[in-house]
Amino acid sequence: MSGESVILFHSSNYAMWAADALKKAKIGHKLVPVPRELSSDCGYCVRFDTLSAGQVSALMEKENIEFDRIEQI
Amino acid sequence: MIYFDNSATSYPKPSQVTDAVIYFMTKIGANPGRAGHSQSVKAGEIVFEARKKVAVFFGLKSPMNVIFTSNATEALNTAVKGLLIKGDHVITSAMEHNSVMRPLKRLEEDGIITFSVLEGDDRGVLSVEEVIKAIKPATKVLVINHMSNVTGAVQPVREIGELCRSKGVLTILDCAQSAGIIPLDMCADYIDIVCFTGHKGLYGPTGTGGMVIRDGFDFNRIRPLKEGGTGSLSDKTVQPAFMPDKFESGTLNAAGIAGLSKGIDFLNSLPEGLKSVQLHKQTLQKYFIEKAKKHVKGFVTQSETEGYGVVSFTIEGLSVSEVTMKLSDLYGIMSRQGLHCAPLAHRRIGTFPEGTVRFGFSVFNTRDEIDSAVKALKEIAGGN
């Protein structure tokens, strides 16, 4: 599946944690504002290539980083 | 000017600390976690880096278990008032600062808890046997400092922590004086909650500190001290239940935290880390006490010759306020007189209500400065 996805967290603190883990794992990503249509949160989420979705969720599980959901955008 | 009041707050700060605060305030400026723009992201990254460093510093895996507060007092109030409920019993020591004693006293006066104050040995240091005797069926928490802010006496944290864990008693450790001097591993030392300040031994700015909860601890047992904006779950009017947002309402002192982060880097950059800090402070303390005993008439210290740079003393026949005033006004030497917000500790060591003069050394103090201080004290004490 091509395109981009975002991984949403309950808190920007977790988005930071996730971005740090993704950086270490060398998985391309960017911290971006949370799309209003997806969440009411004030902070950020992490955008990545949808092709990496499996790797991203596996990494979150491995590092015990709780997340809300992954959405294709 | 010679600054020996490092137990109140350290000065000077390493240049990388002040540079980081200025950089944050002039180049970043934004609110971490409250917007999606690039400056807010940068601010958030700086705070997250600090969170990670604090976690590693105390032996934690999850950076989310680091809650930033404005100081150790706020952290201790959160831990003590957040954990205890009606009927709980608490064990503490006679060496505690008012940041522990006053929250306990408040809860006692409100009819919520009872607490036992353990005397320890003649330095106020507790033994495992003394703690065992004090544990009751209702004992929920033991809260003690790691290192006395009055005498520098160090508690046997690991032994007491292990005992408490085996008895189902939670441990809250006040690391206001010890953080940045004595290493702590919350897992190996059996500590459930650490409360620290950023502006003393960690060389960060004032207005920084935190409550650190050990990995795996059920933080749902702790009620937050305050509720408010967190930047998360903004459509809901109830406080988020996850870490660290549950306890971090309101805008963080991000500029201060940027500095604190560099303070930890500074300690990690020393040749042998905290061992270097210990060695330097031990050397200064021994040098000062031995020299003052030899040259200053009526010099009496309540601290051990071997210690980590917190020295209380009096000069017979002189009030402590007179000594500190003369040190400051005539010699430009900054020290702290009185009870150091720890009245019970002074009762324990026999210096209540007059208190003591306290010298607190930092890694930036030198033997030359101690020579100057001993010379000054000799002159101040000379006529009595």
Q: pLDDT band for position A38 (50/70/90)?
A: confident
Same domain for B339 and B197, yes or no, is no
Q: pLDDT band for position B349 (50/70/90)?
A: confident
B379/B384 Cα distance (integer angstroms): 10
Answer whether residue B223 shows pLDDT above 90.
yes
Same domain for B311 and B179, yes or no, is no
Answer whether residue B279 shows pLDDT above 80.
yes
Same domain for B213 and B294, yes or no, is no
* Domain end (from B241, B269, B297): B269
CB contact under 8 A, B233 and A33: no
Check whether the bond before B353 is cis (ω within 30° of 0).
Answer: yes
Predicted complex ipTM: 0.88
Q: Would an 8 Å CB–CB cutoff place A64 in contact with chain B?
A: yes
Q: Is residue B82 part of a domain?
A: yes
Average pLDDT in chain B: 96
Indicate the number of domains in chain B: 2
Any idea what the CATH number is for the domain that residue B230 is in?
Answer: 3.40.640.10
Please report the pLDDT score of residue B384 as a whole number: 44
Please report the pLDDT score of residue B234 as a whole number: 82
Collapsing DSSP states into helix, strand and coil, what is residue A32?
Answer: strand
Same domain for B303 and B257, yes or no, is no
Positive or negative torsion for Cα B348, B353, B359, B361: positive
- Estimate to the nearest angstrom the gap between the alpha carbon of B83 and the chain centroid: 20
Q: How many CA atoms lie within 13 A of B70 on its CB side?
A: 9
Same domain for B278 and B325, yes or no, is yes
- Estimate to the nearest angstrom the gap between the alpha carbon of A35 and the chain centroid: 12
CB contact under 8 A, B63 and A33: no
Query: Is the pLDDT higher at A40 or at B14?
Result: B14
Any idea what the CATH number is for the domain that residue B337 is in?
Answer: 3.90.1150.10
Q: Would an 8 Å CB–CB cutoff place B125 in contact with chain A?
A: no
B270/B261 Cα distance (integer angstroms): 15
CB within 8 A of B284, min separation 6: which ones?
A: B309, B361, B365, B366, B367, B370
Q: What is the mean pLDDT of residues B80-97?
A: 97
Q: Are B187 and B208 in contact (CB under 8 A)?
A: no
Q: Is residue B10 part of a domain?
A: no
Q: Is residue B286 part of a domain?
A: yes
Same domain for B135 and B217, yes or no, is yes
Q: Is residue B298 part of a domain?
A: yes
Same domain for B162 and B242, yes or no, is yes
Answer whether residue B383 shows pLDDT above 70.
no
CB contact under 8 A, A40 and B235: yes
Q: Is residue B6 part of a domain?
A: no
Q: Which residue of A10, A20, A33 is in closest CB contact with B48?
A: A20
Q: What is the mean pLDDT of residues B177-189?
A: 97
Residue range B44-74, pLDDT digits in tens: 999 999 999 999 999 999 999 999 999 999 9
CB contact under 8 A, B36 and A43: yes
Q: Is residue B4 part of a domain?
A: no
Please report, for chain A, the start and end positions of each structural domain, with discontinuous segments joined by +: 4-72
Q: Which residues of B touch A19 (CB under 8 A)?
A: 45
**pLDDT > 70 fraction of chain B, expressed in percent and rounded:** 99
* Domain end (from B269, B287, B316): B269
Q: Are B95 and B103 in contact (CB under 8 A)?
A: no
Q: What H or E segment, with its residue span, contains residue B277?
A: helix B274-295
User: H helices within chain A, ranges in order?
Assistant: 12-24, 53-62
Strands A4-8 and A69-72: antiparallel
Question: Nearest residue on chain B to A30, judged by CA atoms?
Answer: B41
* Domain end (from B269, B292, B314): B269
Q: Which CATH class is domain A4-72?
A: alpha beta
Q: DSSP characters for B314-333? A: EETTS-HHHHHHHHHHHH-E
CB contact under 8 A, A44 and B44: yes
Please report the pLDDT score of residue B215 as a whole number: 95
Q: Is residue B2 part of a domain?
A: no
Q: Which residues of A touch B48 (CB under 8 A)?
A: 13, 16-17, 20
Q: pLDDT band for position B35 (50/70/90)?
A: confident
Paired tokens of A31: 């911290």
Q: Is residue B3 part of a domain?
A: no
- Parent domain of B322: 272-382
Same domain for B188 and B292, yes or no, is no
Q: Which residue has the tokens 């006496």?
A: B153
